Amino acid sequence: MRRLLLAGALGAAALALCVVALDRAFPPDMSRAAASSTLVVDREERLLRAFVTADGKWRLPARVADVDPRYVDMLLAYEDRRFRAHPGVDPAALARAAWQALRSGRVVSGGSTITMQVARLLEPRPRSMAAKLAEIARALQLEARLGKDEILSLYLSLAPFGGNVEGVRAASLSWLGKEPARLTPGEAALLVVLPQSPERTRPDRDPEAARAARDKVLRVLAARGALPAREAAEAAQEPAPRQRIAMPFHAPHLAEAMRSTAPPGARLRTTIDRALQEQVEQLARRERGFFDDPGNVAILVVENATREVRAWVGGADFAAEAGQVDLARARRSPGSALKPFLYALAFDDGWLHPETRIADAATRFGDFAPRNFDRGHAGEVSARTALQLSLNVPAVAVLERLGTARFMRALAGAGAVAEFDRRATEAPGLPVILGGLGISLADMAMLYAALADDGRARPLVLRHGAAREAGEGRPFVEPRAAQWTREILRGVPAPEPWAQRGAARPIAWKTGTSYGFRDALAFGSTRRFTVAVWVGRADGTPRPGQYGRSAAAPILFKAFDLLPPEAWPEQPQRPGAPPPALARLAPRGAEDRPWADGERGLAILFPPDGATIELARLGGELVPLALKAQGGRGRLTWIVDGRPLAAAPRLEPRSYVPEGEGFLRLVVVDEAGASAQASVRIVEPR
């Protein structure tokens, strides 16, 4: 007897070892569970955008804790009532299925448990007896390796729901337009039944079949006591979906950039606030709808204390032509929007004061003769007024004293990447302060956030939790210089209608317009937020008459209206009168002599900047375009789209034959190096 017992024990041990060895040698293939969609979520883990898997599926991971408990109860009551008790295979269900098949001559019920279905979903096989046996073996393996909720989570992530939709979360978003965390009984019943015949009962193909299948589930559950009869009857009255709903698609440019550096199936948590992101996206689309050309809008919202980006709109329409270009990262000319940082650096160095007087008059700095936007001059003004009015001559005078190299080093030290045209010069010159360089909207937002944070420069934060890693930042300017600059910018009059009704919060703001009206920008900061707005065309072509204050500033103030209220800051102490040594700033290298007769203000008379000119023909030949200028010294040289024409006597008008429709950039230069520019559009007559 002892030998018999010993032999039995050894046999059982050998069988167990064989089972363990087989399990280790042939583990379940979990690769399909790992091949899920890459998800980009907001700071509260709400979905912003999902990406299909390599095999083209919307396969969003889902856990039991992510879905409505009632849905789980209804699923188990309908599909696998003994799921919590059986070891992966339900002998009673298999026996019942076999008996029903023998009696009716066809398959009435499959007898598969949830675990067996998961085994089939992980390793799909053609339906056969061998496949069923393999599913049973795999189900036992899964039960030995995983907990019940882990197995159920695999089902919730892999079950088919029609088309390329897999998993209950993707299904709820695609068919119901909502997350599965809260479902009505009718919605839950639909999601229970769809995996049984996902193509036949697809709501977008046969909504009546979907409704009938849902109602069957409700009747069965009511009959089994899993759902009150009255509740089942009310759920049957719910309308069934009839079409597929697009997946969430928010912050697409940011999501695309984050996905490009992440492994497949990653879950990327951003700093975005989805509710605010949706509102800012709607604002951008609404404003773009007012354009009569292919213009676009980019908007950023940054929380100053952490530098976390709360909204990122890289363009108003991702599906439009060139819509995938992230215009928040594109380097474009900032126009005059860099001027506040120039003045802040000068304040910080101590040789400029907000009340220092600076001459705004016709002045040449070597071969550079800057002019104001309105072509006029204000005379002698304070640095405060010069910045508020965005006067060009004073800004160039300040940059000449500060030094272009010092200014560019300060921008780079703050983390901004600026580019300039190295084909024209080996080093940036004075025109950089008027927009003669390229910088991204994101870097400009970072700089304005530094001013709002008392001069501390830190990079923008896009990943949740990364603000702590960024540290405290580094000083761009001292707090006093930043405070003076903010106080000056708060004094800039708001655009209408905000000027009339009064701003809801004090905004320190500045606009910029690039050469040829290619870019219109506006930046604003409060104690809590910084907002950056860019308006223009992705291809960089001009938008005549669209400048920062008219095109971008209203969008800036509308964006601030979307933000939560915030307390007004304490009134800063005004700097008072400057010491005598800082009473006036005299440009060091400027030629401020009076202009001789005929030399005042080199300018292009025709065609005027921003004009649209129709092509003319005479005898089938294009009529040349007359080029006229006034002012300057000596002979004038015209440059058309970078190609110089021969120099000409002062009184001889030049002409140029356009090659066809398009934009022309015209530059005229005199013998002393002074220049004037214009951008015009040539069109065929309609």
Q: For the chain, what are the domain ranges?
A: 29-236, 284-584, 603-683
Tokens 């440059």 label which residue? 639
Q: What is the pTM of this model?
A: 0.80
Task: Establish whether 336 is a catalytic residue.
Answer: yes
Q: How far are the Cα atoms of 44, 212, 319, 634 from residue 209, in angstroms, in the given order?
A: 37, 5, 34, 86
Q: What is the arithmetic mean of pLDDT over 384-406? A: 94
Q: For 472-498, how does the pLDDT look when each residue is reduced to its tens digit (9 = 90+)? A: 788 999 999 999 999 999 999 999 888
Q: What is the CATH number of domain 284-584?
A: 3.40.710.10
What confidence tier does 520 reach under pLDDT thresholds 50, 70, 90? Answer: very high
Tokens of 630: 């006034």
Spatial distance between the Cα atoms of 58 and 268, rounded to a whole number of angstroms: 16
Q: What is the arithmetic mean of pLDDT over 104-121? A: 76
- Could you say which of 36, 37, 79, 281 is catalytic? 79
pLDDT at residue 578, rounded to an integer: 86
- Right CATH for 603-683 from 3.30.70.600, 3.30.479.30, 2.60.40.420, 2.60.40.10: 2.60.40.10
Q: Which segments within 233-346 are labelled E, that is strand?
A: 267-269, 296-303, 308-313, 331-332
- pLDDT of residue 20 exceeding 90, the answer is no
The CATH superfamily of 29-236 is Biosynthetic peptidoglycan transglycosylase-like (1.10.3810.10)
Percent of the chain with pLDDT over 70: 85
Q: What is the arithmetic mean of pLDDT over 425-454? A: 91
pLDDT at residue 651, rounded to an integer: 44
Find residue 440's DSSP bridge partners: 331
User: Based on C-alpha coordinates, what's the Rg of the chain?
Assistant: 35
pLDDT at residue 6, rounded to an integer: 57
pLDDT at residue 35, rounded to an integer: 92
Backbone angles phi, psi at 59, to 5 degrees: -125, 90
pLDDT at residue 112, rounded to an integer: 86
Q: What is the arithmetic mean of pLDDT over 217-233? A: 96
- pLDDT of residue 373 exceeding 50, the answer is yes
Task: Establish whether 79 is a catalytic residue.
Answer: yes
Which one of 361-365, 527-531, 597-601 scores highest in mean pLDDT?
A: 527-531
Q: What is the arithmetic mean of pLDDT over 66-83? A: 95
- pLDDT of residue 97 exceeding 60, the answer is no
Tokens 């006093």 label which residue? 480
pLDDT at residue 471, rounded to an integer: 67
For strands 364-365 and 584-585, give the pairing. Answer: unpaired
Tokens of 493: 């009059």
- Could you say which of 36, 174, 333, 336 is catalytic? 336
What confidence tier does 285 reach under pLDDT thresholds 50, 70, 90? Answer: very high
Determine the residue type at 95. Answer: A
Chain centroid to CA 28: how far? 40
Q: What is the arithmetic mean of pLDDT over 164-168? A: 97
Tokens of 669: 């230069």
pLDDT at residue 590, rounded to an integer: 45
